[in-house]
Structure 1
Amino acid sequence: MNAQRFTALLPFLPSLPMLSMLSLLTVATVAWAVPQPAPGARALPGPTVPAVGRAWPVGTRPAVVRGWEPPASPYARGHRGIDLSAPPGAAVRAVAAGRVSFAGRVAGRGVVSVELSATGVPPLRTTYEPVRASVRKGDEVAPGAVVGTVEPTGSHCARTCLHWGLLSGRTYLDPLSLLPPWLRRSGPSRLLPVLGVPLP
């Protein structure tokens, strides 16, 4: 509530019941104290994500069945991670070095979570589900280390997939941002010709 709107309500305050008047004044005071964003202002960006990933969680370049769709607010609808195509029993790998912070079941699904090394405080945390864990809480894992296998049930995809998430504290981030551009590229690597050297 800005100053003009509040001033416009002043003539009506004496006619309001005392409880309503107090409620209105409380709301006006809180609204006055909270800084309002400038017109056209954008939300502040989330934490910076270092490209520490050295492996895909499954396969070498899996198809992204559903991408990251950040919610507008903490409780709004969205997709807090990405879904990667993966058959049941496929090996699930740690994308970067870290320590297993959770390996167990949540709402009937197997979940593995890894706190990534050297990613600040709080450390970035990756999650993988549905996964039959082959690691325990506290285990240290290297990039590409197998942490479990894709479970045949518990996926929210039409076909079996791996849900891969990334968090900083309680803030969800795009897990693909962990991977450097060279690892995200699809297709085989190609060698460029050296200038001045004729082709064989």
Structure 2
Amino acid sequence: MYAFSLFASPPPRPPSGLCAVVVLLLNAVLLLAWWASGAVASDIAPTRASTTDRWVPPIVDANEADIVNGFIHPQMPWSAAHRGLDLRSATPQVVAPAAGEVTFVGMVVDRPVLTIRHANGLLSSFEPVESELQVGDTVSQGQQLGELSEGVSHCEVQCVHWGVRKPDAWRIGSTTRDLYIDPAFLLGWTEPSILWPIHTEPAP
């Protein structure tokens, strides 16, 4: 008895040669899909690994309890916000949270600032930090960048302000602005925000 009860006799079977061709084609498709998935995985594996690598706090042994002022994302690039993390420091030494290259050392308004560019394109800025490093110097993770300035008070207690941004990553109409991210996320202290501000053209 055949499963197809409507047929008085079993349905005709395709020639054996055609079956072999179909099987070969299916095997070829499966082999190609397997190879392609392996190639893609190998390409993106380093990227995934780099995004999950933990940075270290710019203050040695600092933890979440040392956050004096947390990150507040601006609703728009020109909006008031807290574009960084203030970390309490028991010592004046400031270290590199990740390897990078010094891109700026100097005064901004009334305080000394140091900025380094990391391999992933992110920029880290620290203030008020006095440093003997020069633009173009390379630093490794954990290497001392400088010391907190005694003449400038950013918090009620001794602290470092650490800001992280991705240059030209925030598109507002036809313009691009730097996109600030929460440094605590890079340390594994917080989860990434899933709420994004509404993008509009800046007011005239």
TM-score under structure 1 length normalisation = 0.60
| 1:174 matched to 2:182 | yes
Task: Show structure 1 runs of 4+ deviating over 4 A.
Answer: none
What is residue 85 of structure 2 aligned with on the other side?
A: 82
Name the count of aligned residue pairs.
130
Task: State the secondary structure of the residue aligned to 1:168.
Answer: strand
Task: State the secondary structure of the residue aligned to 1:176.
Answer: helix
What is residue 144 of structure 2 aligned with on the other side?
A: 146
- Higher RCO (CA < 8 A, seq sep 6+): 1
CA distance in 2, matches of 1:51, 1:104: 32
CA distance in 2, matches of 1:96, 1:142: 7
Q: Once the 2 structures are TM-superposed, how far is the Cα of residue 53 of structure 1 from its aligned partner? A: 4.3
Assess, with a 3 A threshold, how the Cα gap between structure 1 residues 52 and 98 changes in structure 2: closer, same or farther.
farther
CA distance in 2, matches of 1:152, 1:127: 18
Q: Once the 2 structures are TM-superposed, how far is the Cα of residue 74 of structure 1 from its aligned partner? A: 1.0
CA distance in 1, matches of 2:108, 2:164: 17
CA distance in 2, matches of 1:113, 1:51: 22
Q: What are the ranges of 5 or more consecutive residues in structure 1 without an aligned counterpart? A: 1-47, 186-200
Task: State the secondary structure of the residue aligned to 2:184.
Answer: helix
Task: State the secondary structure of the residue aligned to 2:116.
Answer: strand
C-alpha contact 1:64 1:82 (8 A) present in aligned 2:
yes
Greater Rg by CA: 2
TM-score under structure 2 length normalisation = 0.59
Q: CA RMSD, aligned part only?
A: 2.1
Say which of 69, 86, 98 aligns to 1:66. Answer: 69
Q: Once the 2 structures are TM-superposed, how far is the Cα of residue 55 of structure 1 from its aligned partner? A: 2.0
Within 5 A, what are the aligned runs for 1:42-53?
50-53=51-54
Task: State the secondary structure of the residue aligned to 1:50.
Answer: helix
Q: 1:24-70 CA distances to partner (integer Å, 9 max, x unpaired)?
A: xxxxxxxxxxxxxxxxxxxxxxxx99344442101212400010011
C-alpha contact 1:53 1:178 (8 A) present in aligned 2:
yes
Within 5 A, what are the aligned runs for 1:34-45?
none
CA distance in 2, matches of 1:51, 1:130: 29
C-alpha contact 1:115 1:126 (8 A) present in aligned 2:
yes
